[in-house]
Each structure stands twice: as structure tokens, then as C-alpha cells.
Amino acid sequence: MKKLLSAFLLLIASIIFSDGMIIPDVYWHRPPDVPTYPIRLVEHEVRMEIKGDILVAEIKEVFENPTDYTVEGVYVFPTPKGALIKDFRMIVDGRVYEGKILSKDEARRRYIEYVSKLRDPALLEYIGFEMIQLKIAPLRPGERRTIEIKYSQVLGRRENTLKLLYPLKINSVGKNRIGRIHIRGVIHGDVLDVYSPFYELRVDRKADETVFDFKDENMVAEKDFIVYITMGEKWAGFGFETYKPFPDEPGYFMLTIAPRLTLSEALNKHVVFVLDKSGSMEGTKLNQAKEALKYIAENLGEGDLLTVVVFDSLIKILGKPFMTKKDLPTLLESLERVVADGSTNIGGALRKALYLCSKSPLKVNYIIFLTDGLPTVGLERDEIIDMVRKLNRTKEGLLANIFVFGVGEDVDPVLLDTLAEENGGISKYVIREATLEEAISTLYRTISSPVLTDVKISFEGVEVEKVVPFKITGIFAGVPVRIFGKYITGGIGRVKIEGKKENTGVTYEYSFKFPKQDDDDDYVEYVWARRYMAYLERRILIYGPNEELKREIERLSKKYGIPSILTSLLIEEQPIQYRGVGAPPSAPAPTSVKAAKKISESLEVERITEKTMDRKFLAGKTFVLKDDFWVDTEFEENEVIKVLYMSKAYFKLMELFPEFLKYLSLGKNIKIRIDGYNLVIDENEGISSEEELLEKLGM
């Protein structure tokens, strides 16, 4: 005879729309062979349409009961403060239902009851949400239930950016996986940027409509699904997000500059492709480089120029010095005859490239430099850097921006990183030869339509520090630029963007509010930390160990739980030779190249994609899993106050420290520092009464 298993089907309707899961009824005694959260979400589809500030959302969820027990359920929709949801309806297997709305206080009592009876804190973070509740029919063993929801909502707006928040992480309660998920949004209007800090989106942007998609299978959602939509202005859209949880501590910001996809005023450019054809380039590397060069030539804009320099021990110009798109057949014919042979004259190749830039009829020059080795003929590392520094400076600024590609593990990262950093470019490292064509083509797509060159960004009205990137290469059509930094106090700040169009200087100014307190977007702080650590590590990679920088890297690494990329490099038996420490090594350790690659990638990181089992960044704090406890990196093992999990004292902490709710969902064993107190939540022992807790706290 089948047993009856009552459960609650919890659907979270957040700032935008909803997600669902099933939790056991608080009065059911769970059999030992049944998991705490037995019902599986096997299919989840979301369709959204956004016009102006109005969202229409349609959600379809398919649940399955894989147990041998019948499941009764109540659908519950927590709705946060300020959520203006209209035209709400729910369809369960074809029948239309209306839900009962619970007040915030009544909903709070329900949440605490669920948590207390189930002895699982995962739902605590939803305290403060109102609730829509609906009784549904039981699910028989093996039965699937389809639930559909549709409603409209006015979205929140900050400046000209809309924020969508879809609480996917509710499905990670009990480590449940989503069998298949597909979220698709259609945005009408002049959209210049669609960005998610946690999930990789496929975005198709057109003139009057933008579509974004996210798909995955067998997924544990560690983060909520957040999307920022930046709408258009004259030449670019601007997004501005902040995180400042405490009024008396610094805050963090992310500034997005999103130029239009196509701009008639995009500048003509001269691209010099410098290709290493030494003997070590034979095979896949040279073939991939040739394919990438073909891509660049085929995608030159009208009015653009291309120069190809190939080098081994000798330097040669391939085809005409300044080619246009119509010269493609001649270039391809010459390219077929290029074979790998000889040594590596890096200095001579860069000297020739800069000379050609000085003779270019165009004002915008980009050098794309590719090598798989060390300089073996001609100038050595420091001589090359000094030569480029001298030849690439003019009264107006840089003659050319230099983008470098290091292929394989035998390149000199100090040389390549220095060339890129001092000359307005970026460095890329391609260890897997088969991905070289894609890497070069991706870079070219990024820089193909320059809008502003010699860009400088400054802040006025608010004290700002530790901004990354420290410099930006330029602003390109359709390519958002994201700038992260710290600010000390709140207020109205002005952002000044200065740059050049041809030789004409232009300036744009915009005002943004830097709030005195804002605790919504904690990812901004974490991404800033990743980028800033990488910036400091590159300083060490290029210029050598520095105690002050090392201490700052160690502090950031501990606070944010981010492993230092250079930790292993600095203790290698054959460490990298830095600038000014003699000649470059004959064969750099692969570790140094891999470190340089990771640093380069971290300097451009835009989202949190790590899925780690032993550390979590949550609401401005980093927790490391140690001896079954989630330990706050700011926690100190002195004057500790230990509280018994799920006791009256445990729930009293929620009243005394409302911010504590953000962290209790971590689990049953937590060590955390809050308001100067070192608190321990322990499932086995600790203070249980409210009176003893207040005495320990001195309240």
C-alpha cells in the first residue's frame, strides 16, 4: 500500500518571474529511503517579452515524482518588496487556478516553520518576501505534473538599464538538479548591451529587437539568473551597478559603456599582421595563423588597409605594403607560398611594422603580432622593449596599438605582456594550437570598428580608486567596455570619457549616483577583486617580486578566496627572469606561460563562472569549507560565541542581525564575523536559549 507524502511546491516569484521546487510537508515523517527533497524538476522553460519597462513572462515547469510515495502539494510564490506583478494566472495540467496571497508577516512565519521542522536553512533567505499560495492535487508515484504560469510586470530601472532577476538557485536546495532548462528573452527597442554576471548568454542583437538564450542540462544552479539590459542613447548606452553594503566602508562599482553595434562614424584603420614563420611554426600553428589572416583580409572594412609582415631571421612584406579588400586574391596567392623555416627575429619584425605604421595614410594603426618562440636573432628582450617604446611614441600619443599572441609554452611572457601593456594592446596566450584561428578572429572582430582611440576615463565628484582596467585600448562599435573600481563615499559622480576621432579630440560627460549604501549586487565586488588581483600579479610578472604587492595579493586572496595565480610561479626551481635581470631564459618554464595566460584571462573577466565545492562568495563575504564548517575568511578564533543550530538562540540571531539571514542558508555549521562578534553555528552544541545569547552578546 502506497504511503501518503505531503509536500509544498515552492515557486519563487522574484523581481521578474518565478522558479519552482517541492519541499516536504512540515508534519510528514520522512522514511529513511526518501531524500529530503524528493520531487525533481525535469523540464523548465521560460519565455519573456519585454517592451519598454513591461515584461510578459510565460513559464512552463514539468515536475516528476520518482518515489514510491504519493505527494500532496501546495504551490507557494514568495514575492519581494516592490514587485508589481499583474495579470497573474497559473495552469496546472490545463486547469486555471488563483492563489491565496499571504502577507509578509504571515509568510515569514511559514518560512520559519518550514526551516524549523525540516531542519534545513536553505529557505531563510526568502524571509521578507510576501507569498502567493495554491493547493494542488497529489502527485502519484512516477507521475509528471506540468505547471504553467503567465503574468506581466513593470521592471525596475536604474539610469537606462533594466534589471532582470530570476532566482534559479532555489533549485539548488537539496542539491537538486534541473533536468533541462531553456530561458529565452525577446527585447524590443534600442538595446545596446545584454549582460549576465553569472551565466553565459547567446545574444542576437538587431536594430529593433534583441534575443538572448540560456540553455543547460542536469544543472545545479549556484547563482540566481541576473540579466542587465542597457538601452540606447546617442552613440552609446551606459550601465552603472554598485555594491556598498555598509555606509562606513568603501563601495564597488561597475561602469558599462556599450557603443552601438554599427556606427557610420567608425574610423578607418590600418592593420599590420606580423607573422612568425620560423621553423617551430611548422604544421598546425602556421596553418591556423594563415586561416586567421584570411579571415581578417576578408572582413576588412571599406577604407581599411592591411599590411602583412612575415619573419624568421629575415623580414619580408607579403604583397603590397598597404592592401585593401580588393587585393585579397594576390595576398592569398602569396600566403600559400609561406613555409616555416629559420630563426626568430622579433625585434626586426616589430621595427618594420612600426616603420610601416609611420608611413600609413590612416591615423588608426593596429599591430597584431604572433610568435611561438623567443628572440633568437637580433635584439634581445630589453632591447626590443626599449626600441618599441622609442619608435611607438609621437607627440599625439601612440603610433600603433600592439596586440600580441603567444603560441605554445616556449614564448617569453615578460616580453609579450610588456609589449601589450605599454602599447595600448592586450596579450593572449594560445597553448592549444587548434584554437589559434578562433582566438585571432575573435580579437579582430572586437577591434574591427573603432569609435574612439586614445581613450582616457576619469571620475569627478566622488573619490574613486583602484580602477581596473587601468587603461583601455579603445572603444569599438558593438563591444561593451566594463570598468570596475572602488569608491569611498556616496554622492553624485561624473564620469568623463576623453578620446580621439582621427586627430580630433572629443569629450563626453555623464553623471551617476554612487549610493551611500547598496547591498543588492555583491558580484561587483568579487569581479573587481579578480581583476585587481590579476593587475597586481602582472606587475610582479613583468617587473619582479615586490613585497608590498605580494602582501596585497595575499590579503585579497584570503578575503575573497581567490587562489593567487603567481603563488606556484614564485617558488619554481627555475623561476621566470623579470625585466632587468639579465638576458631572457633560453626556455621559459611552462608554468610562467600558463600563469601569464591565466592573468590575461582574469584581467578581462566579466562574470563569476567558477563552480567550486570548497569556497563561496556570498553577500560581500568569502567562506571556505574547512572541517565541515563554512568559515568566513574574516572570522577570528577568539571570544567565540557558539550557538546551537535550530535553537531559539539561532532564530533570535535573525532578529538581532538581519544581515545574518543572507549567510544562514550556507548550512548547519558556520563560522562568521558579524558586527565585531565571532559567531559559530554548530549542529551539535552551543547556546540554545535567547537569554544566554543576549548575555553573551552583552545586550
User: What CATH number is associated with residue 350?
Assistant: 3.40.50.410
Residue 457 lies in a domain: no
Residue 50 lies in a domain: yes
**Same-domain status, 46 and 193:** yes
Residue 455 lies in a domain: no
DSSP symbols for 470-518 = SS---EETTB-EEEEEEESS-EEEEEEEEEEETTEEEEEEEEEEE-S-B
**Same-domain status, 59 and 206:** yes
**Same-domain status, 589 and 677:** no
Residue 610 lies in a domain: no
pLDDT in tens, 224-271: 788 999 987 678 888 899 999 889 999 999 999 998 877 667 899 999
User: Does residue 655 sit in helix, strand or coil?
Assistant: helix
**Same-domain status, 576 and 646:** no
**Same-domain status, 571 and 676:** no
Domain C-terminal end among 574, 603, 632: 603
Residue 85 lies in a domain: yes
pLDDT at 294 over 90: yes
pLDDT at 357 over 90: yes
pLDDT at 293 over 80: yes
| pLDDT value of position 593 | 86
pTM exceeds 0.85: no
Q: State which residues form the domain around 227.
A: 4-231
Distance of CA 445 to the CA centre of its chain: 20
Domain C-terminal end among 420, 448, 476: 448
133 or 296, higher pLDDT: 296
CA distance to 52, 209, 536, 537, per residue, from 427 (Å): 40, 34, 16, 14
**Same-domain status, 619 and 685:** yes
pLDDT at 428 over 50: yes
Number of domains within the chain: 5
| pLDDT value of position 15 | 29
Measure CA of the first residue to CA of the last residue in the chain; give whole Å.
55
Residue 453 lies in a domain: no
Residue 385 lies in a domain: yes
Domain C-terminal end among 474, 492, 514: 514
Express as a percent the part of the chain with pLDDT over 90.
47
Look over the chain and give the mean of its residue pLDDT values, rounded to a whole number.
83
Weakest mean pLDDT among 190-204, 316-330, 652-666: 652-666
Using pLDDT thresholds of 50, 70 and 90, give the confidence band for residue 4: very low
**Same-domain status, 258 and 292:** no
Using pLDDT thresholds of 50, 70 and 90, give the confidence band for residue 579: low
**Same-domain status, 148 and 45:** yes
**Same-domain status, 398 and 508:** no
Using pLDDT thresholds of 50, 70 and 90, give the confidence band for residue 524: very high
| pLDDT value of position 41 | 84
Contacts for 603 with CB less than 8 Å, ≥ 6 apart: 426, 468, 469, 531, 534, 535, 538
| pLDDT value of position 26 | 46
pLDDT at 587 over 50: no
Amino acid 218 reads: N
Calculate mean pLDDT across residues 318-325.
92
**Same-domain status, 245 and 392:** no
CATH number at residue 185: 2.60.40.3680
CA torsion sign, 247 to 248 to 252 to 253? positive
**Omega prior to 197 cis, within 30 of 0:** no
For 96, the enclosing helix (H) or strand (E) is: strand 95-97
**Same-domain status, 320 and 421:** yes
| pLDDT value of position 216 | 93
Residue 43 lies in a domain: yes
| pLDDT value of position 585 | 43
- How many other C-beta atoms lie within 10 A of the C-beta of residue 649? 24
**Same-domain status, 631 and 587:** no
Instruction: Quote the longest CA-to-CA distance of the chain.
Output: 89
